[in-house]
Structure 1
Amino acid sequence: MIIFLLILLLLVVLILNAFFLFIQKRGSKALGAEAPKVKMDEGLVEQTEVYLKKPKQEWQINSKFNHSKLYGWFTDNQSSTTVILVHGFGVDHKSLDVHAQLFDKLGFNTLQIDNQAAGRSEGKYLGFGYIESLDLLEWIKEVIAKYPENKIILFGASMGAATVMLTTQYQLPKNVKLVIEDSGYTSASNILSYHCQKRYHIKGRYLIKGISLVSKIRAGFSYAQADCTKALSKNTLPILFMHGKNDFTVPFEMREKLLTCGKFPRMSYESQGVHIRSYYVDSKKYQGAVENFLKLYL
């Protein structure tokens, strides 16, 4: 009987570890990281190509969380404001080139970073925004070290949106003025539960708790530490929430939940777009929402 229980326990551990690797290893496609094929509004492709030709400074920092080398690319517009752009799950900084182009067009400096386990940056495991939020603190310090008087805007998409929201729970330097989140989820547990049901037709509540335990042991954090609703309860910065009604990667209903969290200045924008593609198909209104938010709070 004891041998049977030990074998069963070992089997459970192996299964949970396999799920952990499937979900969190570098290059994971567990949340459908394949970008939606959406035609951009007229002019966006050409404007982004112009932006990408501008000189970029390559920056490098070391993560205090696990000492991984992390890379970022800075575009200097001689501005007093820098936008740090944080990408999503299973992609790298290039996925936000078109958004970086928007902030460049508005005259700001841009810093596009590769998160842990993405692009050129080191790291084995994705952090659902938690590890990335700790690394973002270091990127903020790096901007201030180079440009002490710069105002800083945090922009994130999908897991990057979760990252910037999670970062607001920490004591941030006064340089950080506001946050823009595009298509962010409420928590790691909630988004995994949603995809368990949507993709695999299982509720997965206890499965997720088990994988979270493996994540705590192997990656250094549990899914409870990647809860944006709890983080926002501590936030004081203005936040612009930007979501598409046809987003089936992060359901639009999560925006409604996020809007009820905390006591801080906020604005919201919505489009008919899919995941992180509102700017692609509604660029004028998207830019207008960003500009109105900046005029009000920057």
Structure 2
Amino acid sequence: MEPNSVTPVSLNATQIETAVNVPSIARRRLKTFLIALLSVILLLVSLVMAFHAYIAWTLAKPHIDPLRSNPALAFGAAYQDIQFPSLNDSTLLNGWYIPAAQAAASKKTVVFSHGYGGNREEIWVPLYDLAQELHKQNYNVLMFDYGFVQPKESVTGGIRESQELLGAVKYAREQGAEQVFVWGFSMGAGTALQAALLSDDIDGMILDSTFILDPDTLYHNMKQVADLPRYPTLPLVYLFFPLINGVSLNQVPYNQVKETKYNIPIFFIHGEQDMKAPFEMAQELFRNQPANSGSQLWLLPNDSHELIYRAHPQTYLELTMGFLRGLSTPLSGQ
């Protein structure tokens, strides 16, 4: 054999056909793989979107317990079942109006603003105890349910709720109140701050465990339930929220609330162990109030969200009732 010669290789027909088909087989396998990969990606994206839509839905539709009692059963006070519209007539609200112990003489009314996931009883506070003390101190009391307590409605972070609170304030004025004070809890406190941006009919506020629905507090609360990344979790929840209830969380005026110097006295009450509404926000709000506004801050180092009254009932009542007395002007017949 000559050096560097190549021995011819003979291929039969089957081998030739196989060799020719190798590229097409590879292409089919690649195509199948890409389709499968795309299907997996689409499935994962769908699951992620559905999961965040569910988060937005649960935020908008919290579980609400039914009413357990009423003012007559809870502390023996006469009361009226009432209905009134929100200020912009978007919702019809239900509540109780409790005339003061000396109703003919009282021109002062306290409107309770309950928090997220609660109703007019706010049973974990409980509001009945505070209503009883106000009744004895000769204040009329208005307790009502925000619209989201009704099955057809949803939470809007104070956007619609502020109009509902102002509807309650208007109702109190129509009953003859010359002074109306709002006592808010958690998101109900944040709603009160939003309402005070829109009206001068509130003469003062007590705000316990103030929660304002801004991106930081929303993510702070979601992260306690599941260790989710801020992105894309927060943008996706903001995306789905208006699709569920018709309002965007971007409509919540949280920056305006934080920056406003209110022209009424506000008593901020907050616990430093609050895991739902960071106490630094209450500090910031208080520090932003004018020095001569009469506003106060009671910050407790060892207390948590909305449980301050339960931990310090006597001191709580002394401070809150003292604050209200300081706001009350001498009115005819009192």
Q: TM-score, normalised by structure 1?
A: 0.80
How far did 1:228 drift?
4.2
Cα shift readout 1:135-174 (whole Å, capped 9, x = no counterpart) = 1111111121222x4210001111111111111111333x
Q: Quick check: 2:162–2:191 contact (8 Å CA) kept in 1?
A: yes
Higher helix share: 2
Residue 192 of structure 1 and its aligned partner are, at CA, apart by 1.5
Q: Which amino acid aligns with 2:54?
A: A
Q: Quick one: which amino acid aligns to residue 84 of structure 2?
A: I
Amino acid at match of 2:181: I
Q: CA deviation at 1:8?
A: 7.9
Secondary structure of the residue that 1:236 maps to in structure 2?
A: coil
Q: 3-state DSSP class of the match of 1:268?
A: strand
Unaligned runs of 5+ residues in structure 2 are 1-33, 66-70, 329-334
Superposed displacement of residue 280, structure 1:
1.5
Larger of the two Rg values belongs to structure: 2
Aligned partner of 1:292 in structure 2 is 322
Letter in 2 for 1:178: G
Counterpart AA for 1:204: R
Establish whether residue 223 from structure 1 lines up as the match of residue 249 from structure 2: yes
- Checking the alignment, whether the CA contact within 8 Å between 2:166 and 2:195 is kept in structure 1 is yes
Which residue among 179, 182, 185 is the counterpart of 1:151? 179
Partner of 2:85: 62
Q: CA deviation at 1:71?
A: 0.4
CA distance in 2, matches of 1:11, 1:163: 33
Which amino acid in 2 is paired with 1:242? I
Q: Which residue of 1 aligns with 2:17?
A: none
User: Whole-Å Cα distance in 1 between the matches of residues 169 and 263 of structure 2?
Assistant: 17
Aligned residues: 274
> Separation in 2 of the partners of 1:115 and 1:222?
18
Q: 2:312 aligns with which of 252, 275, 282?
A: 282
Query: Is the contact made by 2:213 and 2:254 (CA closer than 8 Å) also made in structure 1?
Result: yes
Quote how far apart the aligned CAs of 1:292 are. Answer: 3.2
The CA RMSD measured in Å over matched residues stands at 2.9
Secondary structure at the counterpart of residue 152 of structure 1: strand
Query: In structure 2, how many angstroms separate the alpha carbons of the residues matched to 1:282 and 1:56?
Result: 28
Letter in 1 for 2:139: F
- The answer on whether the counterparts of 2:147 and 2:153 sit within 8 Å (CA) in structure 1 is yes
Aligned to 1:91: 118
Per the TM alignment, residue 113 of structure 1 is displaced from its structure 2 partner at its CA by: 0.8
| Aligned 8 A contact 1:178 1:238 in 2 | yes
The residue number in structure 2 matching 1:183 is 209
Contact 1:166 1:232 in 2 (8 A): no
Is 1:212–1:223's contact at 8 Å kept on the other side of the alignment?
A: yes
Give the residue type in structure 2 aligned to 1:81.
K
The answer on 1:200 being equivalent to 2:226 is yes
CA-to-partner distance for each residue in 1:16-38, whole Å, 9 max, x for gaps? 3222112111417xxxx9xxxxx
Checking the alignment, whether the CA contact within 8 Å between 2:82 and 2:95 is kept in structure 1 is: yes
Q: Distance in 2 between matches of 1:277 and 1:114?
A: 20
Confirm whether residue 160 of structure 1 aligns to residue 188 of structure 2: yes
Distance 1:136 1:26 in 2: 19
* 1:178-199 deviation digits (Å, cap 9, x = unpaired): 0110001243423221112223
CA distance in 1, matches of 2:56, 2:136: 40
Which shifted more, 177-186 or 286-295?
Answer: 286-295
Partner residue, 2:238 = 212
Alignment correspondent of 2:63 = 27
Question: Within 2, Cα distance between the matches of 1:217 and 1:81?
Answer: 41
The alignment status of 1:273 with 2:326, answered yes or no, reads no
Asked if 1:17 is matched to 2:53, the reply is yes
Amino acid at match of 1:249: K
Q: Percent identity?
A: 22
Q: Structure 1 residues 266, 132: closer, same or farther in 2, change over 3 A?
A: same
How big is each residue's C-alpha offset from its partner over 1:52-77, in whole Å with a ceiling of 9 and x where there is no partner? 32111111123466743310101101
Distance 2:52 2:317 in 1: 43
Using the TM superposition, name which of 215-224 and 267-276 deviates more: 215-224
Structure 2 equivalent of residue 80 of structure 1: 107
Unmatched segments (≥5 aa) in structure 1: 34-47
Mean Cα deviation higher: 249-258 or 156-165:
249-258
Q: Contact between 1:189 and 1:208, CA under 8 Å: does it hold in 2?
A: yes
How far apart, CA to CA, are the structure 1 residues paired with 2:299 and 2:163? Answer: 29
